[in-house]
A and B are shown apart, each in its own frame.
Chain A
Amino acid sequence: MARDWPHLPKLQSEDDAFSVAPEGWSTCQIEHIFEKLEIGKRFDQKTSFPSGKIPVIDQSAYGFVGYHDEEPGVVAAKTSPVITFANHTCEMRVMRRPFSVIQNVFPMVGRPGVCETLFFYYSTKGRVHLEEYKGHYPDFRRLWINLPPLAEQKAIAAVLGALDDKIELNRRMNATLEAMARALYQSWFVDFDPVRAKLDGREPVGLDPATAALFPEHFVESALGPIPQRWEVCSLANKIELLSGGTPKTSEPNYWDGDIPWYSVKDAPSETDIWVIQTEKQVTKLGVDNSATQVLPEGTTIISARGTVGRLALVGTQMAMNQSCYGVRGVNAYADFFTYFSLRQATADLQQRTHGTVFDTITRQTFETLDYIFPPAPLMQAFDRTVEPSLAQMRANIHQSHTLTTLRDTLLPKLLSGELMAKDAESLIGKVA
């Protein structure tokens, strides 16, 4: 969720420094207060592998290009983080584990005794903007910042760092919750574990008796191989209705910047977040009324259908969407979360069935050609009931991360300018930790 924080003016010279800096603070160009680290062996896309112990980072903001099992180029740890600056993309990252880099990624730490590494990160991140395709490192080195005493730096870093840590934790927590829900779907509806257990005369694992009773004890033959008794094979299209989207006229200002989020595939959440609760653009009620789009209820699954096919999102708050997507709702008690996870299961197949002259496309007809195995309605509902608390927690985490991000971005300029002093907080943090 982290974006460039937009709050600090670009300081070109000492004169641009904050006019009222507290006593004891100095203003300096950052080249004097950080140390560029040796990068060891340099890797690239081709020389790194899909898995391994040491990640390799490139110039992007997230993720790794690959891994390797050799000596790490840069040593970092939880307590001694390393900052990287990407020469062309201007992306900055905090690394807390040993890593290696591709070219044009520069690892650095604050100069010991002068500058706290994390403080350095917060006071420079997002300050050099991507302009044309050239090296931005010289601009970066010459940034001016306000430099408080070391204790204050640590305090500022602790305040902002705790917020970022919690945002990151929420992301990981969602990944865990998502993995649990998906494992349950896989076990019940793909591997048929409870049916197999009953067939063997075992008790199904981890099911209350009422839910366990919903699973049959036998398999029957079907077009898609053996399926649990009384389950059915039918086309996906029979179980869902598709809602379409649209774009209000962009030339009509009254249709835009309203309070209804308007989804496009750009807003798709990561697979492990599932929910979408906010979008880059918003429309007005008038815009919805005067275009093909409609307002999708919470719990609708959105699937992208043109260009990028098969990105999913679960609607976490009522929203409209553009015409490159379908909203999918189950019909006849076909439950929301079950719908989401069965589409997730079907995505690879849907992507295989794309057609289109210029863009890959799926249409209503594509859903008709896809046969799936469906359990009886009570089982789908049992699944929804079981995963509901996890999914609710995930949504709450996303909301919380938004709040934390806003809080961080509000505090950051105040703390860096000295308008708000964090020093007092330090002792408290010590007590908690």
Chain B
Amino acid sequence: MKTELVGRGIVKRGRGRSDSVSLVGAEPVAKATAQAKNGRKARASSNGTANLGFEAKLWLTADKLRNNMDAAEYKHVVLGLIFLKYISDSFEEQRAKLLAGEGDYEGANPEDPDEYKAENVFWVPAEARWHQLQANAKQPTIGKLVDDAMVAIERDNPRLKGVLPKDYARPGLDKQRLGELIDVIATIELTASRESGASEGEQTHRSVDLLGRVYEYFLTRFASAEGKNGGQFYTPSCVVRCLVEMLEPYKGRIYDPCCGSGGMFVQSEKFVESHGGKLGDISIYGQESNATTRRLAVMNLALRGIEADFGPEHADSFRRDLHPDLRADYVLANPPFNDSDWVRRDDDVRWQFGVPPKGNANFAWVQHFLHHLAPQGMAGFVLANGSMSSNQSGEGEIRKALIEADLVDCMVAMPGQLFYSTQIPVCLWFLAKSKAADSQRGFRDRRGHTLFIDARKLGSLIDRVHRELLEADLEKISGTYHRWRSADSVGSYDDVPGFCKSATIAEIAAHGHVLTPGRYVGAEEVEDDGEPFEEKMPRLVAELEAQFAESARLEQAIKANLRGLGYGA
């Protein structure tokens, strides 16, 4: 995506942006691409989080203004403003086109909301436009002005109803800092420089890309600034990417019944785009039980022009399934870890493999996912490691039933320290409704077989407590899975001791239906020192002889020394 942008010469040097990014004017495509690649590599090795330098700078500035406010609270303040800036900017871009009135827009009326909706651009009423707010940023009434802007936008755009934060006027929010924050966000330069000659479509692209990135970066940073929250953790992007790269959701229905701020969907879209697909090849269904988190998700996807069905409101997937008839092609999810406080109906149609225990929702989630899978559907999700081996409260029985139904396609043990606010080690489950050969997707017949990958040794520490899977790690994991399931014999799969193993249902049964990859992949082959026994022993014996002699000499020296001090004979 970025490469593309750079290649087309649209991203140019702007105020406040770091030079670490290749922001080019009109350089040849090939060179620009190479630069972009280098840039990414350099960043990946320095802090691993593939981000623009300017996002980090922006974060530092914004975080300074946070002062004593909780990260959890401040998150909504900042992300709401970024969203406001985004829709205002994309509105202005569209408006500029309408005003110019060229080509398709000849005779268009820039004040007609339909002209915007037709282009999937939100209509922004005059009082909610960014320059209006920024002009008043220093006024004590700025809080109320922002609230009014949010209300006005929601009023004119039913899709955003109830989504935008509207409590900027609250007394607890320092108005001077709010004004400064607005100035900071204003520095995210969007409007394409008119003289660069970039075409209209590309301008939109760039807005989406930059603000989307800032939004995502801020979400991540807030996740690391926030504390723990009932087993719910922001899914680090390398974990999401791993799920996506494994499943390869080129097209179809994608479902995440505990979608948080929508990270799975954003990555899926990125995946589709980077593989030459287009927005709209996949349709997105989500559900989220936390009202404020759901709002973040709606904004997150709206920012990228992605249509998503989050159901009419926030709701708990167990209490009230908002997509009861959905049969998804792909489920991608990171449900709360070991949730002990969930609502169970004992006769729920979803409990096909056994009633999950009240004290742990892991297998309730698993069965919920399965319930919503289409006949060829696949699910990839994150669970706490306990799910692979626990035998408490019937969980072992459920796992056994899943294995015997031949649903488990692949298990991946992840390295520790991947998450921001918890050290909990996690695994990835990949379930397939059907493991029969699938010529359309190029899958071989893998019935009765499960692939185990032990990725615990992969990844690099990005600081003292956080680890990240880099490009090569993701490639190693997903490549192994793809070779294993591929019908194509080229570059075929082999077991690698200590890393991966294709096991049969019988082997899994022999291990008591425990799915911990380490059990199957065995130990890494230890490099023999290559020294034959016949040679090694004489060498060691000679060393020992010398050491005995040295020992005798030292003993004499010590005895003599002690005598010198007046001790010993």
Contact = CB atoms under 8 A, between A and B. Distances in A.
A180 interface: yes
Interface stretch (A20-28, A70-78, A248-256, A351-359): A351-359
B557 A433 contact: yes
Interface stretch (A11-19, A52-60, A109-117, A420-428): A420-428
B524 A159 contact: no
A162 B560 CA distance: 10
B537 A425 contact: no
B547 A172 contact: yes
Nearest to A186: B533
A180 B540 contact: yes
Interface string B525-561: 0100000011011001101100110110111111011
Nearest to B386: A357
A425 B561 contact: yes
A256 B558 CA distance: 36
A189 to B, nearest CB: 12
B90 interface: no
B17 to A, nearest CB: 28
A397 to B, nearest CB: 9
Interface string B371-395: 0000000000000111011000000
Interface in A122-176: 158-159, 162-163, 165-166, 169-170, 172-173, 176
A217 to B, nearest CB: 19
Contacts of B561: 158-159, 162, 422, 425, 428-429
A183 B560 contact: no
Contacts of A411: 565
A210 interface: no
B197 interface: no
Nearest to B554: A166
Contact of A352 (B425, B521, B534, B557): B521
B536 to A, nearest CB: 5
Contacts of A424: 564-565
A349 B523 contact: yes
A177 interface: yes
A428 B559 CA distance: 10
A428 B518 contact: no
Contacts of B511: 369
B518 A352 contact: yes
B155 interface: no
A365 interface: yes
B61 to A, nearest CB: 28
Contacts of A352: 454, 498, 518-519, 521-523
B563 interface: yes
Contacts of A177: 544
A188 to B, nearest CB: 9
Contacts of B516: 353-355
B424 interface: yes
Given A354-B518, A369-B511, A163 B543 contact: no
B557 A187 contact: no
Contact of B557 (A172, A173, A353, A429): A429
Contact of A169 (B389, B547, B565, B566): B547
Given A176-B543, A176-B547, A183-B536, A422 B565 contact: yes
A159 B566 CA distance: 13
A191 B528 CA distance: 11
Contact of B514 (A165, A355, A429): A355
Contact of B551 (A158, A173, A433): A173
Contacts of A428: 560-561, 563-564
A173 B544 contact: yes
Contacts of B557: 162, 429, 432-433
Interface in A287-339: none
A159 B561 CA distance: 6
A358 B426 CA distance: 10
A205 interface: yes
A386 B494 CA distance: 41
B512 interface: yes
B564 A426 contact: yes
Contact of A183 (B522, B533, B554): B533
A357 B387 CA distance: 8
Interface string A402-430: 00100000010000000011101111110
B391 to A, nearest CB: 10
Contact of A173 (B519, B522, B547, B564): B547
Contact of B544 (A180, A349, A426, A432): A180
A425 B561 CA distance: 5
Contacts of A431: 560
Contacts of A232: none
A353 B550 contact: no
A425 B540 contact: no
Given A176-B544, A352-B498, A353-B518, A422 B560 contact: no
Nearest to A433: B557
A392 interface: no
A377 interface: no
B527 to A, nearest CB: 12
A9 interface: no
B247 to A, nearest CB: 25
A183 to B, nearest CB: 5
Contacts of B564: 159, 422, 424-429
Nearest to B423: A358
A369 B386 contact: no
A251 to B, nearest CB: 29
Contacts of A427: 564
Nearest to B45: A46
A73 B185 CA distance: 49
Contacts of B425: 357-358
Interface of B: 338, 384-386, 388-389, 423-425, 454, 498, 511-512, 514, 516, 518-519, 521-524, 526, 533-534, 536-537, 540-541, 543-544, 547-548, 550-551, 553-558, 560-561, 563-566
19 contacts: A159-B565, A163-B558, A172-B547, A173-B548, A176-B547, A183-B536, A186-B533, A206-B537, A348-B523, A349-B523, A352-B519, A354-B518, A357-B385, A358-B425, A369-B512, A424-B564, A425-B560, A428-B561, A429-B557
Closest 6 CB pairs of A and B: A425-B564, A348-B523, A357-B386, A352-B518, A428-B560, A355-B389
Given A169-B550, A355-B518, A356-B385, 16 more contacts: A159-B561, A162-B554, A162-B557, A176-B547, A179-B536, A187-B533, A205-B534, A352-B519, A355-B385, A355-B386, A355-B516, A357-B338, A357-B424, A431-B560, A432-B557, A433-B557
